[in-house]
Structure 1
Amino acid sequence: QKGWKVLLLEKKKFPRDKYCGDAVCRTAIEILIDMGVYQHLIKENKAHVMEYRSLCSPGGLSYIWGRPIKFGEIPVAIACKRILLDESIAMAAKRMGADLKENWPVTETKFDEDTGLWTVYKYGTTDTLTSRVLVCSDGAPSRLATKLGLVTRPPDSTCSRTYVEGGTHRFDADGVVFFNKELLPGYSALFRHPNDELSFCVNVIPGNPKVVPEKLDYWHNWLMKKDQNISRALGDNFKMEKMKTASLRLGGEKCTYDDHVLVVGDAAGMTDPMTGEGIHHAMEGGKIAAIFLDEALNHGNYDAECMKIFHQRWMSKFGDDFKWSMVFSQMLYRFPILLDASTAALQRKSDKFVAKWADIMTGRLPKIYMLKPEFSFSIIYELVRLTLHRLKGSNGKQKKAE
């Protein structure tokens, strides 16, 4: 729209899949609406609006919330397969003038300080392209940003995803998040897609020595068999595809810029350490990068000091909150009753309270908002109530045993 030449390189040909939970929250939906993509996804029955959602706490408490979405209203979340979402976004960019080149895997990049240009080399050929600014958005493994020395650590977590055939399960909600005590601080979820199809995902979050990326397959299958809520939702006759896995880079990278280069999305670690969600942060980070690059191109300044502004902007917008996400996730692992208390508070409070809680969980409001009196007092009250109730129950069992 601004008249700049944008080159979009995709290593494979669309449609191509990416493995994740497929839940897209309101922040990303707003961007999809601006791009004209959301309307297309709904019209073509490629996405399902999550009107009724639920969560199950480690202690067995549950809360269901939601209502029918009014015409023109932006939903809290949708479920959309990445194989459909990613292609729709790429084609929208192409329609707006981006030069999309598919089957163009990048093997190497070189920067010429004299000309101020990057030369990008295509794998297995002698084909090259040049660019004034390089944007690395090549996923959590981030091979390109790693080669450039901007990303210095491997991905630190992982997730699974598998689809359940419509009509073979007993799931009747739009989306449910399951917090099994054994998996904490990670979680699992079921999301409904169009045509009654489900996605079942497991997110491993660092902190639990028993739940490590290498054991993802074990936990994926264990939850389907041992978690009563999940096994009840799936039923006895569900048909499920083979499990797929993907790596996660959590908490943000310390440096996502250099001379004439930016790192965006999963490659930059724009994934919440508490929830493992990253689609909306990646899209928001991409929007921040686009606005910043328009400014940089207008001023003709691309050195590291200038590009640092992008890093500061996304950190200020949502990245600084990641440290609190990690603190809270470890607290939930050590004290699962906090999740029970939070669920009990949601059961008792108003829709306004629930809406704000959902905004906190999806990064629209900082996690530190959980320490505000309206949340902390409610959770502390439920924590005391649950503790007394459980102590009373334990004493009752002890007396009965005696």
Structure 2
Amino acid sequence: MARTHGKPILISSFGKAVVLCLALFAAWRLCSTLFADAPPRPLVRDASCLPLAREVGVRAAAGTGSNFVVSPLSIHAAFAMVTAGAWGDTRRELLRFLGSASLHELHHAPANELVGRLNGLPQTSFACDVSVDRRLALRREFMATRASRYGATAEAVDFVSGAEQVRLRVNAFVADATKQLIRDILPPGSIDSSTTVVLANALYFKGAWSYPFDVLTAPFHVPGGTTVGVPAMTTGRSQYIALYPGFRALKLPYKNDVLRQADAFYMLILLPDSGTLSLADLYDKAVSTPEFIRKHTPVEEVPVGQFMVPKFKFRFEFEASSDMQKLGVTRAFKGGDFSGMVGGKDGHGHGRLSISRVYHKAAIEVDEQGTVAAAVTVIRMDGSAFEKKEPPHLVDFVADRPFLFAMVEVMWSILWLVNWIST
């Protein structure tokens, strides 16, 4: 199976209409130039997870160079739910990370507006879950937000004597919500008696192409001069293609049998011209210009000559707590004020909570029939007032070169964006 490599980005809203992508800019083996030492970009509204994605991408490129994909929407939803239970400086830091000035603005941000629609769309599903220590009670206001805005389930659990059962419960929730595409988001030992709250978000997409493709084996030119044969999609049918200086764009609509608007979801592929524009340059254009995706989405079908887009399948996972602290979210990890989330059974406080771990896993499969993608974010929070025990010890077009692509929902914001380089 060909392995691919991706780097996510998140594009901001444009006016009242927002491009929301189930998005993967992909690449066949990540080039380190994509994460070159460029100056940090200012935070863009609705692009709240781009800095985090970049931090993770830099680390991936500097390490094993493993395939990389992330869902900004899943991360955004999980932290939006956490922010609803935060107060003071802790809330202000989290709001800044999420690109909102207030909790009211966050609740009405395009990404949060989309959350309320996903379960009503035939191609998608969205689920949230909260596990809270049975010695505590979720605050009434937080309970209302959890239920009304995120449809999150909640369950009182025993972290002291049943930590492993809680871990298995969360993993089962994730597997069920992603149709078994993502399993075991929480590794053994990740939950213990010091855990107080675990919040989980799961996002799933399955879309069929408006017109399925034929399949062939085609050459793909890997950076460095190597050429490999890859399974690819092809067709003689007219396609939405547009030519721009230095690159060309391909729009691949997903079938839409329910929604009234045409092409509610589509994949956008951006292919640099050989020797004219590098993938890194094209990536920078997409990151730095909020309206880039909208402005470079083809609107007319044209006859095609040669046509080839590789099939691909890959997944990636990471723990993001250190990356988030580098980005300025520190109070939430060091005795943050989450008094708006939980209290003791008697209504009084129990001590301060801190985020201790942020787990994220994403997966995508693209073939001649369509696309299946899933992403999960799980946030573990610990309480300072409970006795902490040590965790148990555990035994061990012709897209024949790198290109970018995005899966887009025309009216809203971005779920995934990835970039792709290698086999």
TM-score w.r.t. the length of structure 2 is 0.23
Which structure shows the bigger proportion of residues in helix conformation? 1
Which structure shows the bigger proportion of residues in strand conformation? 2
Q: Which has the higher contact order (CA 8 A, sep 6+)?
A: 2
